[in-house]
Every structure is written in C-alpha cells, then in structure tokens.
Structure 1
C-alpha cells in the first residue's frame, strides 16, 4: 500500500471519527418524544457500529501489507514425513447423485503416496444407497443412527474411528479439485519444520481453510442477469476478508474444504456440539488453545449454492443464529483467553450479522422525516454538509479500494453492491438476530436443500420489499412535491438517502421476482481435444470442446470442417482427458455460424454409468467454473443493472402477453 493511500485511509477514519463525535454530542434530540429519542439513539449507534466495521477492514488491509499476508504455498518437504490424511465427506440426507460427484472427485485427488490418503463417508442416516456408493468407489463408510448432535456429532463419531495426523472435512455438495492436498498439506510440513528449527517462536498450525467457491450463479447473479458482471456474494468473505484473517493467523473455519491437525482438534475435545455453527466456534477454540489458522486465496473445491429465495433466507437465518450462539458460548466480550486480534475478528463477525438490523434503521430513518416530519437527527443543513459529507464520501472512496481485490486486477465487491445484499437480507434476518441475542432459539433447523424448487409461496417473500419500495417511492414524491430553490437544496440529504434506498429496494424486488431456470446442468469452460463421428459411421474428425456439462458439450472442428453435421444428427464423441478417452453419445442440438470462424456445435450428450462417467464428471468438475466472473465489472453501475433488468423483464412480459393473446 502506497503512502498516499495510507494517508487517505487515516484521513478518512479521522474525518469519520470527528463526524461520529459530532453526532453523539450535538445531534441527538434529547428532549423529543420517547419514540423519536429511542430511534435517534438506534440510528447513531448503528452509524458507530457501521463505521467500526469499515475501520476494521481498513486496519486489517493496512496491517496485511506489512505482514505480507499473501500466502505462498511451498512444495512438499522431503525432510518431513509425508503424513497420512483422512478425508471425511460429511453427509446427512443430501441427494445421492450429488454425493457421487464429491466422492468421485475425492478419488482423483493427487497425493505423493496415495496409500496415505484415506477417504471415508460419514453418514448419519445409515443409508443403504450411500453404503452402496462407497462400495462402488472403494472408499470407507462410517454410518450412525439417531444422531441428535447434527453435523458436529457426525464428525466426532467418524473421528473416533480414524487416526491420521491430518484430516480434511468436505460437505456433500463441495467437490474437491485434484490439487487440493498439494495446496494445503505442504503448509503443515513447513510449520513442522519451523517448530523444529525455532520452537520458542513458531506457533503450531491448527488448520488451513481454502475458499468457499461455487460453480453455479448465486441468487444475486442469476436473478439480476448478472452472471458476467459480479462475483459470487460469498467471494468477498472467502477470498478477501478471511484471507486477511489468515494473514493475522486467525482465519475462520467455514464448514468445509479445510485441513486440520488431528492433535489440535483432540486438544479442544472435538467439534463443539452446543451450537449450530460448529465450524465458526471450532476455529476460535483452536486459536484460544494456541494454534494458528491460515486461509488460502485460490479455490481448491467448488460447490452448489441455492438460488431459491426460501432456501437462501433459511440458510442465512441458520448462519446468523449460529454465529450469535457461538459468540455467546465464546464470551467474546469478556473472555480473557481471547487475544486482541481474535477479539477484533470476532467482534467484526458479530457486528456483520447486526448489519441487517442497522440497514432497517437506515431505511426507516429518512421515511420518518419525509412522511411524518419525525426528526431523529437535530442538525443544521450547512453544518451537516461540512462535518458529514467529507468523511462519508472519503470513507466511501477508501472502502471502494479496500473491498477486496481479486486474483486478477479488479474488485470483488464494491460498497454499493454490499448495500444491495444487506437490504435483501435485512427484512428476514434482523428479527432472528434479535431473538437469538436475547436467548430465544429456533426450534429446529434443516440442512439447506440445493435442489431448486419454486412455488407460488415463494412470491410471498416479495411482500416486505414491495411494501418498503412503495413507501419509499411515496416518501420521495411527498417530500419533494411543491419544493423550489433552497427548499430542494436543504432537503437534498433526505432525498439522497431515499433515492439510495429506493434503488436498493428496486434491485431486491427484481431478485425476489426470480427467474426461470431452463438449464438442468451448469456449463463449464473446458477446452479439451477429441473426435466426433456420425452414429454408425466410420470416419472420425478432430474437434476441441469449448464448454461441457453433465448433459451437453459444445465443440468446433480443428480440421477443415468438411464433416456434414446438422441439427438433430446422432453422433458419438470421444474426449481426451488426462486419465483416458471418454466416450459420449448424443445428438446435435444447435449449429451456430461464426462468420469466418468454424461453426460452433452444441450437442446433447449421455454417458454410460461406469468409469466413463467417472472420468467425465472429473473432467467437468476439476477446476473453477470460468464462465463466472472472479471480479466485479467496474463499468457497470447500479443504474445500468436496474435498466438492464427493467428491459429484460419488460420484454419477457411482452412475450407472455403476446403468446396469451395469440392463443386466444
């Protein structure tokens, strides 16, 4: 980080602190009605906490520069013994075919001595179908009945029967890449060498967390037609915030695709069972026991994320309640065993789940004044401009620079996009967070289903956004109607916030409207050589694929393309993977002319359920889905996305109306 950037960071924090001091001491309407005073205090407290979380991100990024937090993965150390590794795939009641992909990928993981890699499936449902699947892939099976301690109990039960010095945790839907162990295990060997060479200063490594990565577009990307514009919503934490935590040797465990030192977990008596977020709590317990934790930046696995509104909200509600539970169990405000760095990270995480309550406060505050003239900030307009505006806009600019740089040049998420995501979750998360904080727990939680299911009930989730959107629109009109000249200027701050919330709520409405899912399988960019012939024919022609999926493949000819291939032709494909030839059968679905270039052929394909299928699954899922962006497109503004969604959805409605009237 340059000195100029450091100066801007410090100046932004200083101006923001001055503003907050002014807010606390000079703008609270102490003599107002009780409701007004309570809401005024909630607003100023929300501003303090929001600024605190921003300051923490800036602080961690400045600290990370001096500590060089970019983690370099070493080679295997020949001087250190190659450890045995237990790879545990945890399953509850997930679809067996989803589990197949993860088990299959685990069997392809590279390791210098494959006999030292022990793959087991921990199934707390004791399902015969899962046992049969493990028999097919020749991996271990550990079943159990009547598990009342959820995922943590399942893992602890499996660990009782395993003894390797390292173990890996994978969820059912998190498919490992073949290089997973090569990018994690050497870090433990390096740490063991450091402990031998300098035992007085080296700290033992408890676990290494790799990023949570997903091969399908999330609900924000998909429903806003933004698959090419913004990265996955969870990338900001996994590829940026948690990497910063790891730079301070305090990475958080996020539930899957992490490697653990068995001794460390034994030292804290296994996975905690007194919370529904055993991952978050375990990581901190290991830090408290004297173990460090690291986070890598490059994904080494990929999973599927839900895109139905009900599934996403239930998932985040479980996470929110679980983190609040774990923070209470860990006594993050008073626990003397927590280091100052651990405490800051936990406080920052705790504050994140209160961001949705704060967002509701921010939405409601300007509505109170615009509609009912309830003034929760007692301030002169010109003084407000002098004290608030410089700090707000400079901090906004600085936060834009610190909101996560991807592996390529570019930002993972900007502040405006973060506000949209907060607004989306706010109506559904702020009440569970409050209830969990005061000790009112949810009766039952279920594992989030990854199968996309839509019903008319899903549309009911739109109601909070629609109500807030309509009230905000009414407030904008009512507040500005009949104003002229200086009146518009003086009221510009209220109008500014109303417009910001209106834009965010409009985006939330589009997300809640959903989008029809046509594709059954996700498409992956995979360029591999192969050959094609007509079914029953003799002549093979060389091709190269452009993308593949479980049900299809797109390819071009690499010769002169003289093969007469048309839509609906039955074909046979053979693709060259690093393991063997893969044979596919199918038919041409579409031929796309490309001018002077060779045409692009899209084919529907099928593969026999044997090792052919296993190799094909590995070809598809071994590596990140490059069709999805890693960084945000800085040229696309929220106004561009609003316009794009409005145009796309208006055209869809026009087509539906046209089809209906044409039928009549």
Structure 2
C-alpha cells in the first residue's frame, strides 16, 4: 500500500471530522518530536509513546475510514480509539521495560554522534509532520535548521547542568502501601479519554449558532482540564508507599531541636494548651528540646505565659514578612539543627518527636562518609494537619459520625504519595525542618502570603528531599464559622497562585517533570472554583436561551457518559476507600466557589492580595447566619429552578435531545445548591461533646453510698462528657456533684461532674455530665488531647439525593 495512503495530508480528506483527527495526530507528532529533541529519547518514555502512538494511529485511522458506510461513525471511533489506546499502552510498557533494563547504560556519558543522529531524525519527523499540515517547504527547512541548532544547544547545556532529582526513596527503601491495580488505572484512563474525545468529535453543536458553540467549547475546556487533573492526581496517589519509622541505636545521640509556636492574636487559653502539648512531648534527652513562643503581637500577658511555663519568648518590634518574618526572627535567635513549626492551635501528641526525628537521624547515618555529591539531605518531614473539632461540613451537614475531615484526603492520601516525586507541600505546621535547608534558601519565604508553600518549593528545588507521613501527630482547630473558612481559603488560593509570579517553577531545570506536574495539580486545585462556577451558570443560560451545548442523541450519551461516571466512582473507591467521594468533592467545591472564583481570577490576572487577616480560631461555634453568604446560593437556586422549568417545557414542546443533558445538569446542580443552602443556614451547636469523640474507661463514685459504677466515656470535651455505664439502664440525674475517674493508656485523672440527663443512642443509654472541676488541669489536658482524635470516614456517599434527604431529616429532628 502506498505510504501516502496510510499517511495522507489532512487537506486531501473530504470529511471534516476525519481530516481534523489527522491534523491533530500530525500536530501531536510534531510537538512530541520537538520535546524529544530537547530532552532525549531515553529520558522521556511518555513523550516517545505519544509520538509512536500518534504515528501508529494514522494507518489505523485510515483503515477504519476505509470501512466507509459498513459501520457507523461511532463504531469506527470506538474501534479506532480502542486500537490506538492498546497500541500506546503496549508501547509505553515496552519502553519502560527497556528503560529499566538499560538503567546502567544511561549512567554512562552520552554518545555524542548518536545524540546528533537522534536529533536529526527527530527534526526530520517534525518537519515531515508540518509538511503534511501544508506548511510550505521553505519554512519547513528553516524550522528544521532552527530546531536542530536549538536542540543541540539545550541538550549540551542539560548534559552539563542537569541536576540529580533524588527522592526520599533514595534514602529509605519504601514499602508498597495501599495501591490500585494497574488494570484499574488503565481502564479509568481509557474510559475518561474515550468520553473526552467523543465529546470533542461528536457533540459540539457546530451548526446551532455561535452562542451554542461558545458554550460547548467553554464546557469542553473545563471538562478537559477536569479529566486531565483527575488522571494526573490518580497517577500521583497510585504511587503512594509507606516508610516505616527507622530504628535508632541504643545510646545514639538525638539532635537538638528548636520548637517554634507562632502566634499573633491568639488567646492565652489556646496557647496554654498548645505549649502544654509541646512540653509534654517525649524525647530521650529533654534538655535538647528548646521550645519558643514566637509572639508577633508583642503582648505582655503572652510573655508572662511563656515565663510561667518556662519556655522561650521571642518577639520583634516590626511585623515585616508576617508569619514568615516571625519565624525568621526566631531562626536568628536559635541554633539547633532541626526546627519544628506549630501553629498556635496545633497541640502535638507526646510521641511527635519520637515519630519524626528518627527519619533525620537515618538520613544522617546514610550520608555519613559519602562524598558530598552523593549525599541526599532530608529537608523536612510533614505530618498531617488534623483537627479535634468537627469541620463545618461535618457539623452543618450532620456527617460528624460518618465522614472524615475535609482535609483528610489531601494530608493522608495525596501528601504521602507526593513523597515519590519529592513534591510534598510544606503546610506551615506540624513539620520538622532542617535548619541547613532553611539557610540554603534564605529562611522562610517572605514575599508570599502562603510562605509555607513557597518555602517548601525552594527547599525541594535546592537538592533536599521531603517526606510526608500519613499518621496525625498533632491536632488543632478547624475554622468555627463560615466567614473564617472563606477567609482562610481565599488566602490559601491567592497565595498558592501568587507563588507562580514569585518562583519560576515550570521553566527551570531545578525541578523534575514529576515535581512540576505535582505542583501544577496543587495550583490547579484552586482554579477548580472557576470551573465549578461555569458548571453552575452555563446550564442555566442554556435553558433560558434554548442553547444546546451538547448535540447528541440519547443512546450515545448513555454509552459514553454513563460508563465515564461509573468509572469515576469505581476508581475513586479503589484509590481512597472511604476518605473521599465525588458527591462530597462537588459539595465542598460548590459551597466555596461563589466566594473563591473572583479572587482566584484576580490573582491569575496579577492583582495580588498584599495583606491578609489571620484566621480567628477562638470563636465559639454557632449558626453565624448571614444573608451575605446565603444570597449567592439563593439566587443560583432560584435561577436553577427556573431553568429546570424552562428545560422541561422545551422538551415537552419537542426540543432537541441535547436538552436532556441540560435538564440533568440543572437537576444535579439544584440538589447541590439545596445542600449548600442548608450548609450556610448552619446548625445550632447545643453541645461540645460531639467535637471530640472518645472511648475512655471510667469509674463513677456515687456520693451517697460510695458505690462505684464502671462505664465508657463515648464523648469528651473540656466542658462535658457522655458516658455509657455497664449494665445500667439509666443513671439517677440530680444536681449532686460526683467524682469520675478517667483512665487511658497514657494516664489517669479525676473530674468532678454533674449529671444533666440521658438519652437513647443506637440502643444504648447515654448519660451526659457537665464537668465542674478538674483538680489537675495538665493531667486532664493530656488525657483529652494526647490521643488519636482524627475522625475516620465510615460511609461513602454515592448519590446526592439521599444525602439531601438525610440532612433534611436531621434538621427536622433538631427542631
């Protein structure tokens, strides 16, 4: 068969859709050849796979095109895509095997003439692809010469200056953790891409007018970014591994540690609990742990608190650099090789240091005696930011006993997986950092409002490796009201995006490709608020103005879209167990998007937030209802309901099948918005017991006859407790104080409490007590906070409608 028949120029093909696919394949071939020419074949198996798969797909496309009218275009598309996907998967697998088996050869110096020949071939491939796209021959020759010269210059520069990209796995061999079967990952990618290309090729309403095309393209761009982000994040999480705590030798000297507790306006009570937790941390030689209260508010009462607790007190006259400047000031006055940073509300557990410092000791032992160029220094160890109170989503939506904290998925799944690419995000608290790493990057970064994110990037880009642990070792307070939550997330979003303007992440060889992808997904996370707003607004406009943004019959929709949704659920379940589900992700995003989308767009345009307000975590939780936060959801819900009515009437009067998609999207958004309304409406906080679930054995001494009742504390806070007594149906409640002895593996304390009532919960009689007195405050605080307080997800919410009904039921019962 003639070569030109298998690889025809797009201009020679009369069918626009087929010609467009050929043009895309030629473009992909040319772009892959350019990228490979800059980096080399062996170093980019993924890009080489794209080039070979694109070139191999062209004959397949031609063959399926020859089938003509014997099969439908959709069948041709599925056949072509499936064959191309299998081809690409096989090619990638072969290249990875060849790369793994040739790892020794790659360590040798590059063959100069072989590299020149490789570059010439790639330049020729690029020019051939451009020529097929009808680029003039003269221009192709010029581009060939330019590409060859530029590729050779960059290849020579990289061969001399390409840094090593170590990860923590080079220090300690990882133990494979909870992994997803490769077949599930491949199937997920296949279904997602099959759906995406179907949307691009078959559903754009090209003949329905400019508004329809604009809406369709806008939604396609958003869906494309969504799918790309999902594939990349799933690939990151699938690489998660475990790094067991290294053993330490008997008599081995543990390094000195400086502990910084940063504060500005937090209360004395809050700081006392944090400092008590720090003082309670165990260490082989406690004299080598130095605790400092870094007060940027320069408050006399906080200075006295530090004196009373016998910890260091550091302050300054200027607040330049905010928290980063505060921590840099602390660095100037201390000298220990390791630094621990805690936010003012984060209470560490007693084993925090014992479960983090050994990683630095192991790295030091590994580097001892090695030449400097072979040493791999550990920059920081990040532990999860966990919380001892319910977050607002758990509390307002009545899910405190069923789902984990909103941030658990990031800190306990994604962060540990980022260790594999050395792209762990420094979160600003619950972290141990090497002083040498901080000094190498000039201290904590002061030019961004998210100084932690930027500081971590600089450390990892300076040759240091990072490690994220999945076990929570410190617990703090999540925002107690919706305005504080919005304020916190706006600061995080704008700060992370602003780092793009402060630090060169993508156009430098300081970071590996894996790091760039990982950082990119972290930044894109905040852009999702804009995408969510598009998903909310476009269906409403489409319904009002009868604009079909999807041009497809019902059958193809069911064949492509439904499997895509099902595969999302299956893969998410395989990836995260019960930590996160798509409906809850959509709820989180929808609640925040009306308030985040504007600031995110401003930050992308370079209009930066110069100052910020510290998140207030001392507020008492209440409903905090405000029309300011209710109004966006109320307007969107009413418009969505009107759009639903308009779409139904349009379908009733013979509207296009694309209206079914509009109708479904409006219905789904309507349920989401109703849940958001209930969230913003809030929930009265009648008790603080639910904030800290517990299972603690207890003994109660009756004041009259001294009888001892044994039971279990199932809920405990600083003010109240819930107790289930063994073999007792009810406890006689009166105002008489009684002594209750609480005991855990780590300690014991006695409190004086008064019974306030009892109720049935899940078949058990739960008796509530108000705590009047605890003779030893420190013992009580240790027992209350020095334990695993993380809420674990115990239920997966697969559909939104049942979630809405459950929330309505709970609200009705609370009335």
Normalised by the shorter chain, which TM-score bucket? Answer: 0.7 to 0.9
What's the offset of the Cα at 1:603? 2.2
Q: Does 1:493 align with 2:666?
A: no
Pick aligned residue for 2:262 from 57, 80, 90: 90
Does the CA contact (< 8 Å) of 2:711 and 2:725 recur in 1? yes
Unaligned runs of 5+ in 1: 405-409, 656-664
**Cα distance in 2 between the residues matched to 1:221 and 1:564:** 30
* 5+ long unaligned stretches in structure 2: 1-176
Q: CA deviation at 1:46?
A: 1.1
| 1:292-333, Cα deviation, whole Å (9 max, x unpaired) | 111111100111111311111111011000101112222333
Match of 2:800 in 1: 638
Shift of 1:40: 3.5
The answer for the alignment partner of 2:456 in structure 1 is 283
The residue aligned with 2:788 is: 624
Structure 1 residues 129 and 391, CA gap change in structure 2 (3 angstroms): same
1:160 deviation in Å?
0.6
Contact residue 569 and residue 581 of structure 2 kept, 8 A: no
In the aligned structure 1, how far is the partner of 2:677 from the partner of 2:286? Answer: 51
Greater fraction helix: 2
Q: TM-score, normalised by structure 1?
A: 0.88
Normalization by structure 2: what TM-score? 0.72
Compared CA separation, residues 13 and 93, structure 1 to 2 (3 A): same
Take 1:155 and 1:596, find their aligned partners in 2: how far apart are those partners?
51
Q: Secondary structure at the match of 1:527?
A: strand
1:506 to 650, 664, 674: 674
Cα drift, residue 32 of structure 1: 7.0
1:166 has 2:335 as partner: no
Alignment pair present for 1:143 and 2:315: yes
Residue equivalent to 1:613: 777
Aligned 8 A contact 1:567 1:591 in 2? no
Deviation at 1:25, TM superposition (A): 5.3
- 1:126 Cα offset (Å): 1.0
Match of 1:87, SS?
A: strand
What residue number does 2:328 align with? 156
Contact 1:523 1:548 in 2 (8 A): yes
1:177 matches 2:344? no
Residues 217-256 of structure 1: matches in 2 within 5 Å? 217-256=390-429
Q: Deviations over 1:530-573 (max 9, x none)?
A: 55352xx7847364551432112344667x98999532112234
Once the two structures are TM-superposed, the CA of residue 618 in structure 1 deviates from its matched residue by 1.1
Question: Is the CA contact 1:90–1:170 (under 8 Å) kept in the aligned structure 2?
Answer: yes
| RCO higher in structure (CA 8 A, sep ≥6) | 1
Alignment partner, residue 188 of structure 2: 12
For the pair 1:131 / 2:303, whether they are aligned, the reply is: yes
Deviation for aligned residue 1:440: 1.1
Q: How far, CA to CA, are the matches of 1:595 and 1:483 in structure 2?
A: 47
SS of the aligned residue for 2:686 comes to coil
Aligned residues: 635
2:292 to 101, 117, 120: 120
Counterpart of 2:612 in structure 1 is 445
Q: Which residue of 2 aligns with 1:46?
A: 222
Residues 536, 669 of structure 2: 8 Å contact kept: yes
Equivalent residues in 2 for 1:547-626 (5 A)? 547-555=715-723, 566-576=733-743, 582-591=749-758, 601-607=767-773, 612-625=776-789
Give the C-alpha shift of residue 508 in structure 1.
Answer: 0.7
How has the CA–CA distance of structure 1 residues 562 and 579 changed in structure 2, closer, same or farther, with 3 Å as cutoff?
same
CA distance in 2 between counterparts of 1:44 and 1:636 reads 25
Task: Name 1:519's counterpart in structure 2.
Answer: 687
Distance 2:231 2:750 in 1: 55
Does structure 1 residue 268 correspond to structure 2 residue 441? yes
| Among 638, 644, 650, the residue aligned to 1:476 | 644
Contact 2:527-2:600 within 8 A present in 1 as well: yes
**Partners of 2:556 and 2:706 in 1: CA distance:** 81
Q: CA deviation at 1:519?
A: 2.2
Q: Give the 5 Å matches for 1:246-395.
A: 246-379=419-552, 381-395=554-568
Structure 1 residue 631, shift from structure 2 partner: 1.9
Structure 1 pair 488/140, CA: closer, same or farther in 2 (3 Å)?
same
Counterpart check, 1:421 vs 2:588: yes
Q: Which residue of 2 aligns with 1:433?
A: 600
SS in 2 for 1:479: helix
What is the CA RMSD across the aligned residues, in angstroms?
3.1
Between the aligned partners of 1:192 and 1:430, the Cα distance in structure 2 is 45
Contact conserved, 2:746 with 2:783, CA < 8 A, in 1? no
The answer as to whether partners of 1:207 and 1:261 remain within 8 angstroms in 2 is yes
Written as runs of structure 1 = structure 2, the 5 A alignment for 1:640-655 is 640-652=802-814, 655=815
- Alpha carbons of 1:556 and 1:415: their partners in 2 closer, same or farther (altered >3 Å)? closer
Structure of larger gyration radius: 2
Matches for 1:54-133 after TM superposition, within 5 Å: 54-64=230-240, 69-78=241-250, 80-133=252-305
SS of alignment partner, residue 768 of structure 2: strand
1:461 to 629, 634, 639: 629
Tell me the SS of whatever aligns to 1:264.
Answer: helix
1:213–1:299: 8 Å Cα contact kept in structure 2?
A: yes
Q: Deviations over 1:426-468 (max 9, x none)?
A: 1111110010111112353111111136687623201111111
Pair 193,518 (structure 1): closer, same or farther in 2 beyond 3 Å: same
| Cα separation, 1, equivalents of 2:778 and 2:722 | 20
2:342 match: secondary structure: strand
